[in-house]
Amino acid sequence: MNAPRLEIADLCCAFDGRRVVEDVTLSVAAGQVLCLLGPSGCGKSTTLRAIAGVETPERGKIRIDGATVAGSDAFVPPERRGVGLIFQDFALFPHLSVHDNVAFGLRGPRAKKRARVRELLERVRLERYIDAFPHELSGGEQQRVALARAVAPRPRVMLMDEPFSGLDNRLRDGIRDETLGVLKEEGAAVLLVTHEPEEAMRMADEIALMRDGRIVQRGAPYNIYNNPADRAAAAFFSDVNVIAGEVNGALTDTPFGRFLAPGVQDGTAVDIVIRPQHVRIDFDRAGRGPNPTPQDGTPARAVVTRSRFIGKESLVEFRLDEGGEMSATVPSVFLPKPGTPMWLAIRRDRCFVFPRSQNRRSTATG
């Protein structure tokens, strides 16, 4: 990993005496994409604005290439930070051509600026629109012009705030991939803000999960998905089933047998979390469940309450004989009728056991 280009240390921001960002510490290297992921109102955009220089932090330091741009003894204005910005509304100048929009932040001889504009428009496949105006372009084309304009001055840091949320789903994946390619080539340190886990997983080298103004977990997409810090972190990335239990002798009794809960004090209430794709389904054959395996543990009998086809997979919902509900996803079309008895088994190696009173502001690095 290269040395950090962007460093944030103990950042705190407040509005009207209320802390909206608290003790955020992050670093992003040149050519790296870090995604700040979290629900609306968690402090993501405020963090971005503080880095850009349009918000003054209450406390903490922000450094770019080792130089402090915000801190107790320094504040560099936004235009001198070498930071690029891309927002969801594109913010193109309607009275300027595509060429003039992209060239807006460039300095130097006209020929050099025009060459840079042409280079970028070719990279985003819009060179034929160089003399067009924003209203003549589609939403996806406007987004690519906004990208070219932001990249044109070669910023050291690129900040992106929900940049693809205004695009149709059919366009979004292609634009995201194209944007990522351009940013990687430019070598900027990229901080992307989004509330969509799929977008974060698709674009980020590293994800920082934010909640209530704090970073609760940070790591590579694979690690943060498969090793969530708490129940809320697991549920943010996908639907989850939750089985309530209580620890006795480092074990928890459930309809699926006993689960290990090492290090958890006896009498502690716990939540066992399992994603629907890790629930295995078998038909009830003469009342006998599937043969148990060490991986799947003890099967539990259940009855179908509803089934729906949702595109690439089917979602089947159950009521367990021993009480409680559970859902499972199955690839392709699988639509059993309500009332159909089945046996369910769950992947023990894919379950997470969390104390119910666990501090939801815990921090973990994956």
Q: How many angstroms from the chain centroid is the CA of residue 115?
A: 36
H/E stretch holding 171: helix 169-186
Q: Report the pLDDT averaged over residues 49-70.
A: 94
- Left (φ > 0), alpha (ψ -120 to 50) or beta: where does 103 sit? alpha
230-286 per-position pLDDT tens digit: 999 999 999 999 999 999 988 899 999 888 888 888 899 999 999 999 999 986 554
Q: What is the pLDDT of residue 215?
A: 97
DSSP string, 68-126: EEEETTEE--GGGS-EEEEETT----TTS-HHHHHHTT--S-HHHHHHHHHHHHHHTT-
- Left (φ > 0), alpha (ψ -120 to 50) or beta: where does 339 sit? left
Q: Which of 33-42, 103-112, 174-183, 266-275 has the lowest mean pLDDT?
A: 174-183
6-59 per-position pLDDT tens digit: 999 999 999 888 899 999 999 999 999 999 999 999 999 999 999 999 999 999
Helix (H, G, I), strand (E, B) or coil at 43: coil
Q: What is the pLDDT of residue 170?
A: 75
User: pLDDT category, 297, cuts 50, 70, 90?
Assistant: low
- Higher-confidence residue of 258 and 3: namely 258
User: How many Å apart are CA 307 and CA 315, to the nearest integer?
Assistant: 6
- Higher-confidence residue of 300 and 263: namely 300
DSSP string, 291-337: PPBTTTBS-EEEEEEEEEE-SSEEEEEEEETTS-EEEEEEES---PP
347-363 per-position pLDDT tens digit: 888 899 999 875 443 43
Q: What is the pLDDT of residue 286?
A: 42
Q: What is the pLDDT of residue 2?
A: 67
Q: What is the pLDDT of residue 220?
A: 97
Q: What is the pLDDT of residue 291?
A: 58
